[in-house]
């Protein structure tokens, strides 16, 4: 009797391997054959789970975003007003999160030319902004922030831009933008935004 395989777990395993390869060689150099070889599978097994490279890459992108959102959710489950902690959960503070950001930035190139990736990019950015809005609203309602409720969306947009900037700098200048540097800059920006 053949072994039972959890299809979603197998898809996630393949996506993690794709992430590792993207971090190492870039998006354009990734092939289904290479992913299969690193997973110890045949190419046929990989194509059983993903019809083509585009489908695999889109799944990989979404998986990275969902992992980041899950970390943020864990922080907010403990304290719905923990803005600093929830944003830190997104920042590239360790090798795993640095890999997620490398994947995220690699997909910008595809989003510029492919409508499916562009739609996914917009959806992920809007989702991140919506989470930030909810945290900011919770802080305002709890009396932890002096910003007005009608300014929350603007502040969430500005904060998302700050997060992107921190991530870009940290990937290219790990000395000045190591974990402590990212956290300190974030704290300064949150104070400047009145959060």
Question: Domains plus CATH for the chain?
Answer: 7-192 (1.10.357.10)
User: pTM for the complete prediction?
Assistant: 0.85
Mean pLDDT of 84-110: 92
Q: Chain-centre distance of CA 9, in angstroms?
A: 19
For 40, other C-beta atoms within 10 Å of its C-beta total 8
**Which letter, b or e, does each residue of 76-108 get, where b requires 16 or more Cβ atoms within 10 Å of its Cβ?**
beeebbbbebbbbbbbbbeeebbbbbbbbebbe
pLDDT (tens digit per residue) in 10-46: 899 999 999 999 989 988 888 999 998 998 888 888 8
pLDDT (tens digit per residue) in 78-89: 999 999 999 999
pLDDT band for position 195 (50/70/90)? confident
């Amino acid at each position: 009797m053949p072994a039972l395989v959890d299809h979603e777990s197998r898809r996630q395993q393949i996506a993690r391997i794709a992430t590792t390869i993207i971090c190492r060689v870039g998006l354009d150099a990734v092939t289904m054959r290479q992913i299969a070889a690193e997973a110890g599978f045949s190419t046929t097994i990989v194509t059983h789970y993903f019809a083509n490279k585009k489908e695999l890459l889109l799944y990989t992108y979404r998986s990275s975003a969902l992992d980041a959102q899950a970390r943020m959710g864990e922080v907010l489950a403990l304290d719905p007003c923990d803005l600093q902690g929830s944003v830190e959960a997104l920042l590239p503070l360790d090798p795993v999160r640095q890999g997620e950001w490398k994947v995220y930035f690699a997909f910008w190139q595809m989003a510029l030319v492919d409508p499916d990736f562009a739609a996914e990019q917009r959806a992920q950015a809007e989702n991140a902004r919506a989470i930030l809005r909810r945290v900011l609203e919770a802080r305002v309602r709890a009396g932890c922030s002096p910003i007005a409720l009608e300014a929350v969306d603007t502040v969430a947009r500005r904060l998302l831009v700050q997060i992107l900037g921190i991530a870009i700098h940290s990937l290219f200048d790990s000395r000045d933008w190591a974990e402590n540097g990212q956290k300190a800059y974030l704290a300064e920006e949150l104070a400047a935004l009145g959060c």
